């Protein structure tokens, strides 16, 4: 009898925890079908619009992965400033790469529009952000796919210093050649204004993430009639759902591929970073609706190779980690 009574009390305790949200304070826990969600009729128009952007994401990643750079040609040209042939060889090597870099940058602008379009759908009244995410799973999946792409792009870019080196060489050379009145056909493709914008983009350690953070901040600023909570709740709910799916075997076992676990981790980190940029107090504050300790623990429980880049993203691309209001134990967990 004692055993059953104790079991009954435990069950009641768990129920009360759920009802009072002491443990589940960080939001709802429903399954978001990242693998199979299909658009309903109501989602179709926006889904098609965003899909036309997302279908190019893999070719962008493939292009960046294959990026070899013109390091040797540039070194030879710099070391032999009077050798016209080496100058020409470096220039001819860099120009096609700059066209490639422009393609990546232009894609970031399309991604920005797609993200804002999804935010508009997933935050608009009368539905709550949780209801939107539960009912419009195909749009939630696209939102997740944008974040997944973004973190993959930035992880790759961090490992390719040639991207910034090539572009810096291009800018120095084009300025010099302009002074010499050389005919610069490439200026039709990448004019001075475009080069300035690209330069700012590639100067960021995580350029795509920075683009999305700005896009989310601008979305909030431009939609003054929409309460800020609609956007921050959408982001915190997504983070909570990803965390719960990762740490709950009944959910994670429903994924048909191990890749979906990594997908889920990237999405969780992506929405935390966006939340941290948009919420005045950030994601690490005690008042945050994101269970940061729980999210970091979920990441730390994974193989180190899978999550090193994600932990670095939390360390180096969030705004509020080093605020005085951030609990020390959270900073310690990320060290």
User: For the segment 256-310, what is each residue's pLDDT rounded down to a tens digit?
Assistant: 888 999 999 999 999 999 999 999 999 998 889 999 999 999 999 888 888 888 9
Identify which has the larger pLDDT, 303 or 98.
Answer: 98
In the prediction, which pLDDT does 29 show?
62
Cα torsion 234, 237, 243, 249 to 10°: value is -120
Inform me whether the pLDDT recorded for 30 exceeds 80. no
Q: State the alpha helices, DSSP H only, in 35-161.
A: 41-54, 57-65, 71-79, 84-123, 129-135, 137-158
User: For the segment 195-231, what is each residue's pLDDT rounded down to a tens digit?
Assistant: 999 999 999 989 999 999 999 999 999 999 999 999 9
In the prediction, which pLDDT does 20 show?
33
Alpha carbon of 59 to those of 86, 156, 174, 202: distances in Å?
A: 32, 14, 28, 19
Distance of CA 85 to the CA centre of its chain: 42
User: For the segment 116-138, what is each residue's pLDDT rounded down to a tens digit?
Assistant: 999 999 999 999 988 999 999 99
Inform me whether the pLDDT recorded for 82 exceeds 90. yes
Distance of CA 119 to the CA centre of its chain: 14
Cα angle 299, 25, 139 (rounded to 5 degrees) comes to: 65
**CA within 13 Å, CB half, 57:** 24
Three-state DSSP class for residue 287: coil
The overall longest dimension of the chain from CA atoms, in Å, is: 95
Mean pLDDT, the chain, whole residue set: 87
């Amino acid at each position: 009898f004692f055993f059953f009574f104790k079991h009954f009390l435990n069950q009641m305790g768990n129920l009360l925890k759920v009802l009072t949200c002491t443990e589940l304070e960080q939001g709802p826990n429903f399954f978001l079908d990242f693998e199979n969600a299909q658009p309903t009729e109501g989602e179709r128009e926006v889904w098609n619009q965003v899909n036309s952007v997302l279908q190019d994401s893999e070719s962008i990643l493939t292009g960046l992965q294959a990026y070899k750079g013109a390091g040797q040609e540039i070194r030879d040209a710099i070391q032999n400033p009077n050798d016209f042939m080496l100058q020409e060889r470096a220039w001819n090597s860099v120009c096609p790469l700059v066209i490639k870099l422009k393609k990546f940058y232009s894609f970031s602008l399309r991604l920005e529009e797609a993200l804002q379009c999804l935010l508009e759908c997933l935050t608009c009244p009368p539905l709550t952000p949780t209801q939107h995410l539960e009912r419009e799973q195909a749009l939630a999946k696209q939102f997740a796919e944008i974040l997944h792409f973004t973190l993959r792009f930035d992880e790759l870019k961090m490992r390719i210093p040639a991207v910034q080196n090539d572009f810096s060489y291009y800018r120095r050379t084009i300025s010099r050649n302009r002074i010499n009145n050389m005919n610069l056909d490439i200026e039709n493709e990448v004019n001075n204004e475009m080069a300035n914008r690209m330069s700012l983009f590639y100067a960021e350690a995580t350029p795509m993430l920075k683009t999305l953070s700005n896009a989310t901040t601008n979305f909030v600023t431009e939609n003054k009639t929409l309460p800020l909570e609609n956007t921050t709740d959408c982001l915190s709910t997504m983070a909570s759902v990803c965390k719960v799916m990762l740490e709950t075997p009944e959910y994670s076992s429903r994924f048909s591929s191990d890749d979906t676990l990594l997908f889920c981790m990237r999405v969780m980190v992506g929405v935390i970073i966006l939340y941290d940029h948009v919420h005045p107090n950030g994601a690490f504050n005690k008042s945050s609706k994101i269970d940061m300790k729980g999210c970091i623990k979920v990441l730390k429980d994974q193989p180190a190779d899978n999550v090193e880049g994600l932990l670095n993203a939390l360390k180096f691309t969030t705004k509020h980690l080093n605020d005085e209001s951030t609990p020390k134990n959270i900073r310690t967990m990320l060290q």
